[in-house]
């Protein structure tokens, strides 16, 4: 008897190096352009980031594209182009969330996206125990949502705490994901997100 498990896409999870985190904090300190009108969440503040001289893209993100393509296939190949094409950042922003803020399930444009948690001020165990968190163990979670082989909706949850700081999740932009609110904490949750896509090469 054989047990057949059909293939499916997944995502990458890793920890950023200290120098990569420092670069992002520097970008955040310089951010001043409002990104909220183009985002779906109920968020305290969202600001666009500038990747100066493509430092973060070249030093960090390219390797995630390569690792993802090796394991799951290059999702950019599904975009019709003629000639060679290359990746570029399409949108790059920081989210600052306060208690009661949330991000409903959504996806992004482009080929790949990521989320990086820079400052998680709460612990999911304490969040689950609050009187306001009557949601069955979802308070403060980040979750992916996708259909299984029967077409039923399932989720994969990340239970966030200080230990999550510096974690990057790298995933296809079309993968649905959302963030639940946290409670009983006046500090901000700070995360960085991006979507990026292929540029069509100039043809002569």
Check pLDDT > 50 for residue 203. no
Q: Which of 139, 130, 140, 94 is nearest to 115 (CA)?
A: 94
Task: Give the mean pLDDT of the chain.
Answer: 88
pLDDT at residue 144 tops 80: yes
pLDDT digits (tens, 9 = 90+) for 51-78: 998 899 889 998 998 899 899 988 866 6
CB atoms within 10 A of CB 28: 16
Query: Which is more confidently placed, 131 or 64?
Result: 64
Which pLDDT does position 204 carry in this prediction?
28
Q: What does the pLDDT average to over 87-111? A: 89
In whole angstroms, give the CA distance from residue 164 to residue 166.
6
Domain extents in the chain: 12-75+86-199
Neighbours of 200 (CB within 10 A): 14
Instruction: State the Cα–Cα distance between residues 68 and 43, nearest whole angstrom.
Output: 30
Fold entry, domain 12-75+86-199? Jelly Rolls (2.60.120)
Closest CA to 42 of 95, 117, 92, 103: 103
pLDDT, residue 87, reads: 67
Predicted structure pTM score: 0.90
Is a pLDDT exceeding 90 seen at residue 38?
no
- By C-alpha distance, which of 138, 156, 176, 160 is closest to 40? 176
> Any idea which of 9-23, 79-93, 106-120 has the lowest mean pLDDT?
79-93
| C-beta of residue 49 within 8 angstroms of C-beta of residue 34 | no
**pLDDT of residue 188 exceeding 60:** yes
In this structure, the strands spanning 103-106 and 176-179 are antiparallel
What are the tokens at 25? 């904090």
**H/E element holding 24?**
helix 18-30
């Amino acid at each position: 008897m054989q047990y057949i498990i059909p293939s499916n896409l997944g995502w990458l999870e890793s920890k950023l190096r200290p120098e990569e985190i420092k670069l992002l904090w520097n970008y955040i300190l310089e951010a001043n352009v409002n990104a909220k009108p183009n985002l779906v969440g109920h968020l305290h503040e969202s600001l666009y980031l500038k990747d100066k001289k493509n430092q973060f893209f070249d030093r960090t993100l390219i390797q995630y594209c390569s690792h993802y393509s090796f394991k799951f296939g290059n999702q950019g190949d599904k975009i019709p182009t003629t000639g060679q094409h290359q990746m570029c950042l399409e949108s790059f922003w920081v989210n600052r969330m306060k208690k009661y803020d949330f991000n409903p399930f959504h996806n992004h444009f482009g080929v790949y996206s990521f989320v990086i948690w820079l400052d998680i001020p709460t612990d999911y165990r304490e969040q689950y125990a609050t009187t306001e968190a009557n949601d069955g163990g979802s308070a403060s979670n980040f979750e992916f949502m996708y259909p299984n082989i029967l077409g039923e909706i399932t989720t994969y949850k990340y239970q966030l705490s200080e230990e999550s700081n510096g974690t990057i999740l790298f995933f296809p932009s079309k993968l649905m994901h959302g963030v639940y609110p946290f409670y009983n904490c006046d500090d901000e949750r700070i995360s960085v997100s991006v979507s990026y896509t292929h540029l069509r090469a100039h043809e002569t």
